[in-house]
Chain A
Amino acid sequence: MRKYPLATVVLMFLILSVPALARDEWSARRAEMVRTQILSRGVSDDSVLRAMGAVPRHLFVPPRYVEEAYADHPLPIGFGQTISQPYIVAFMTELIKPERRQKVLEIGTGSGYQAAILAEIVRHVFTVEIIPELGEAARRRLGELNYKNVTVRIADGYHGWPEEAPFDAIIVTAASDHIPPPLIKQLKDGGRMVIPVGNPFLTQYLVLVEKNRGKVTTREVLPVRFVPLTRGK
């Protein structure tokens, strides 16, 4: 070492700079994802764009899919579940009009990615996962990433989270053939809920539920897949 001080310094520099370089590479991919997949398709909420640019999606996908983490499609995470396409995550988040003061309920934690995005924006995220293995892994992952404003519960999401209700917004990330009545009850007046319906690899047909003065209305958000599919415009 004494013999080659310069070489040692260079080597140490290289070793130490690898994580930083890798970080930069992931940041660059994220920025590219936000620019080409999300911003270009019309998602314009600043807080959503910032969150999508900040959360390291590659840490939420299984190791075999890391290289595809920022690609424009959903990825399998095991147990027949998927981490949604980045655009869908951004679009659903924008739909609930997230704000700093809000308390949000998420049904279907999955990898925890959607919860992390929400946690970047809102005050607190309560997220429920029914498959214990997925719930535990998401809880650990979110803890390691220091998301202190996310609480994960392993339970049947159909009943929501009555102890913490009402919620300013609810995001359901697991497809359902109907809107669970308990979730409608737990939605605050003036709140918004969004539910995807459909094939995880193809069409996610979003339904937006709004509650105003006790009256519940639903709107099918049709262009969810049309917009991404005319990307580049």
Chain B
Amino acid sequence: MINVGTYIALGAVSGTTIAFQIVLIQIFSFTQWYHFAFMVISTALLGGGVAGIILTLGRMWFLKRFELIYFPSIALAGLSMLGSVYLSQLECFRFDSFLLFTNVGELLKLPLNYLIFLTPFFFSSLAVGLFISVKHGEIGRVYFWSLSGAALGALTGWALLWYLSPEATLTVLAGLNLIAVVIAGGIRTWFLGRVAVAAGLVGLFLASVYPPPTVLSEYKDLRRILNLPHTRWKDSLCSPYGRIDIVESPLVRYAPAISLAFEGQPPTPPLVFMNGDLVGPLFTLDSINQVAILNYTLGALPWAIETRKEVLILSAGSGERAAYALYRGAEKVTAVESNPLLANLIRQNLAVKVLSMEPRSYLEVEHQNYDLISFPTLGNFGGNGGINAIKESYIYTVEGIRAAWGRLSGKGLLMILTWEDYPLRYSLRVAATIKEALEREIKERLLDHISVVRGLNQMAFLVKKTPFSAEEKERIVNFCKELGFSILPCFPGEAKGYLFKISPARDSRPYPHQFIKLSSLSAIEQRYGWTRVPYFEVGYVLIWLTLLEIIVLSSLLIFLPLKLKRSLMPGPDKMPVFLYFSGIGMGYMCVEIAFIEKYVLLFGSVPSSFMVVVSLMLFFSALGSWAVSSVTPERNKLLILVGIISLGIFILGFTLTSVLLKSAGNTLLISVLLALLTIGPVSFFMGMPFPLGIKILGQVGEEVIPWAWGVNGFFSVVGACLATVLAVEVGFVLLMIFASLCYSKTVLLITRL
């Protein structure tokens, strides 16, 4: 019997599933890298589509056993969330994503991990899909509960991660599913169910005492440092923004690209790690003299020219550049850091003004001028295999450099440092970006404003608001002589036919760490060999691999039931059904991914942008779904609806970036209200096509509903991957146009449904 409790259980399983994704991202980002999390979770999400296909194949069997399948599926979804993490950390299943391209053994473990993580998504989708099949007549209401539960789940996952470790959060999620089953009365009439729930509760108790272990990859910075003798863990903090560790080691010296002129002992300050990757050293006011070592690096160059009173540090990290500015006597140091945990760390340790926001947004809304604006060092020592390839940054875009230029005082300087990579990519892109950003302002006098200095394995770009005077040039020469550095005689530029993409990044494609050109892949392969290509940009390669893998798997699984059980799906023509549900699934995810990327400008970081965007979109879509619960799907209404959605997405594609840039820096409440106003309306309408489509299918052939649900699930996953690839390749505006077209194409099919 279906009652309110059954709906609550539906909301609970939808919510815990989305919270599980957030927790998994946290766990994988710490033990491996975030792009690997993306790969595993995207593939595992296909479990939803698999559930749809199984429901299609055994529709009548499942419908007759609703309670027997629905409630245990919810309980099993929760328990397998916990179990999957335990299993994945066992020696026989655990693998290292860094070795994926060099070791066949590691590669073989990948499908095993997919299967492990597919299980919870399969069970939760089985429960939701079954409910939709049974209550397709009330699809608006069903979808409302599912989506609003998911929205609440995103918020709950976020909130729990402030207080609990990701491992402990898993136990809570599993527990929530069990409680929902008990509340819904799912075990009232079922003795075995009671036994299973009791066993599950015992399991949860044990899991809270012995949470799943999480083993760091050997190639994570933190693990390498922990391998050294005498290393001491000082502090550790989990949050939805990731995990921060502070570690002390007498063997790790801080002397980045230091001159050979230095003959002393480098300091060994505590080191800060974010998700196991090194952020930088931690200096306090007491230990600020240690930062003097930077006098022997390119970081000292701006002070070798002149004293800097007002200094702005963009993406301040662990605060070493801010500490150095203080050490060099800057009167006012402003540090902008998007990660609130890092911002707090700087606030606690240094007497500087700290703002926790997206640095680019700060440049747009702040009108103060600075004597020095210091950008974070590009590239990282050792390369780390291009793990940041698909990480967006709005300060290293043409528009970002222009905005920083606008904040310089009369004698002000922009300072950009890059680690020297091989083949050269970062320094060439920085040069191209500066040139394009400023050629309008300083035209042919570019070289009078810019000085490029090469250190041991770093390069510094100094860009001055006014031309360098002869005296200033002399000071740079002396600095270089003293430390054995050299001034580049000409401005670096791109050689024709260069294998890598070094054209400037822009706000519409803010990926300054992405260099691989698809058109040069075979040339890169010829020169470097296939096994090495992925290590240039692991993040980028994995996204493509994931997309291809998902398209192949989805195609197989979607068309399998059509081949196997043609007789069981006698309903309407399948092609329009396929195109309709794939279009709305893909379109929805493309908009979601694009929004997450853009709202970073408003909320400072990807985790907070994810939380706000996902929960608002789901909540408003839930309302949209509720709004059409009593609407009869008619052709004209559907045409108008699809028109509104396509137009809305289209308009946002062209206007959102500038709206967000102009609105940054407000209070959280105002930012959320703005997000609500921009995300809400379009999401409200985007929640309608799915229930309306299901309603139509209910009238013309309800046998196809589980299949349509599966197709929608598959293409949501394809859409998420494709959106990431499109964002990198063609940019935000074209991605939004693509999403708009995904919805528009359904117009062609409405009449045929």
Contact = CB atoms under 8 A, between A and B. Distances in A.
Interface of A: 64, 72-73, 75-76, 78-80, 130-132, 156, 158, 175, 177-181, 184, 197-203, 205, 207, 216, 218, 220, 222, 225-226, 229-230
B229 A201 contact: no
Given A79-B227, A202-B385, A203-B421, A158 B527 contact: no
Interface stretch (B81-89, B158-166, B195-203, B258-266): B258-266
A197 B381 CA distance: 8
A220 B229 CA distance: 31
Contact of A76 (B99, B229, B381): B99
Nearest to A201: B535
B630 interface: no
A208 B227 CA distance: 28
B555 interface: no
A178 B267 CA distance: 13
Contacts of B260: 179, 184, 216, 218
A203 B219 contact: no
A199 B105 contact: no
A178 B229 contact: no
Interface size class of B (residues with CB under 8 A): 35 or more
Nearest to A131: B227
Contacts of B255: 177-178
Interface in B93-110: 98-99, 102-103, 105
B532 A201 contact: yes
B748 interface: no
A156 B231 CA distance: 13
B277 to A, nearest CB: 13
Contacts, number: 96
A76 B218 contact: yes
Given A131-B228, A132-B229, A177 B256 contact: yes
Contact of A80 (B227, B456, B527): B227
B264 A203 contact: no
A130 B251 contact: yes
Interface string B297-340: 00000000000000000000000000000000000000000000
B258 A178 contact: yes
Given A229-B527, A229-B528, A177 B264 contact: no
B535 A199 contact: yes
B516 to A, nearest CB: 13
A99 to B, nearest CB: 26
18 contacts: A64-B105, A73-B529, A73-B531, A76-B102, A76-B218, A78-B218, A130-B228, A131-B227, A177-B257, A178-B255, A178-B257, A179-B258, A180-B253, A199-B385, A201-B102, A202-B536, A216-B260, A225-B528
Nearest to B224: A80
B263 A199 contact: no
Interface string B391-428: 00000000000000000000000000000111000000
B382 interface: yes
Given A177-B256, A179-B456, A229-B528, 19 more contacts: A72-B529, A76-B99, A79-B218, A80-B220, A158-B251, A178-B257, A197-B381, A197-B382, A199-B383, A199-B385, A202-B383, A202-B532, A202-B535, A203-B421, A218-B456, A220-B420, A222-B422, A225-B422, A230-B527
Contacts of B535: 199, 201-202
B369 interface: no
Nearest to A75: B102
Contacts of A177: 255-257, 381, 457
B574 interface: no
Contacts of A75: 102
A29 to B, nearest CB: 18
B223 interface: yes
A158 B383 contact: no
B711 to A, nearest CB: 39
A115 to B, nearest CB: 20
A41 to B, nearest CB: 13
Nearest to B221: A80
Contacts of A78: 218
Contacts of A230: 527
Nearest to B525: A229
Contacts of B156: none
Contacts of A202: 383, 385, 532, 535-536
A199 B385 CA distance: 7
B384 interface: yes
B94 to A, nearest CB: 14
A199 B223 contact: no
Interface in B366-385: 381-385
A80 B422 CA distance: 21
B227 A205 contact: no
B422 A205 contact: yes
A129 B529 CA distance: 31
Contacts of A201: 98, 102, 385, 532, 535
A16 to B, nearest CB: 33
Contacts of B223: 80
A178 B218 contact: no
Contacts of A200: 382
A22 to B, nearest CB: 23
B422 A178 contact: no
Nearest to B532: A202
- Tell which of A72, A178, A197, A218 has the most Cβ of chain B within 10 Å: A178
A125 to B, nearest CB: 23
B422 A203 contact: yes
A205 B218 contact: no
Nearest to A202: B535
A164 B133 CA distance: 79
Contacts of B229: 130-132
Given A156-B251, A198-B383, A201-B532, A73 B257 contact: no
- Tell which of A75, A79, A201, A220 has the most Cβ of chain B within 10 Å: A201
Contact of B382 (A79, A180, A198): A198
A184 to B, nearest CB: 7
A130 B253 CA distance: 14
Contact of A205 (B105, B258, B262, B457): B457
Interface string B238-257: 00000000000001010111
A198 B224 contact: no
Nearest to A132: B229
Contacts of B529: 72-73, 229
Nearest 4 pairs of A and B residues by beta carbon: A199-B383, A80-B218, A178-B258, A202-B535
Nearest to B220: A80
Contacts of B382: 175, 197-200
Contact of B253 (A158, A175, A205, A207): A158
Interface string B544-563: 00000000000000000000
Contacts of A184: 260
A201 B218 CA distance: 14
Contacts of B102: 73, 75-76, 201
Interface in B32-70: none
A144 to B, nearest CB: 25
A189 B708 CA distance: 77
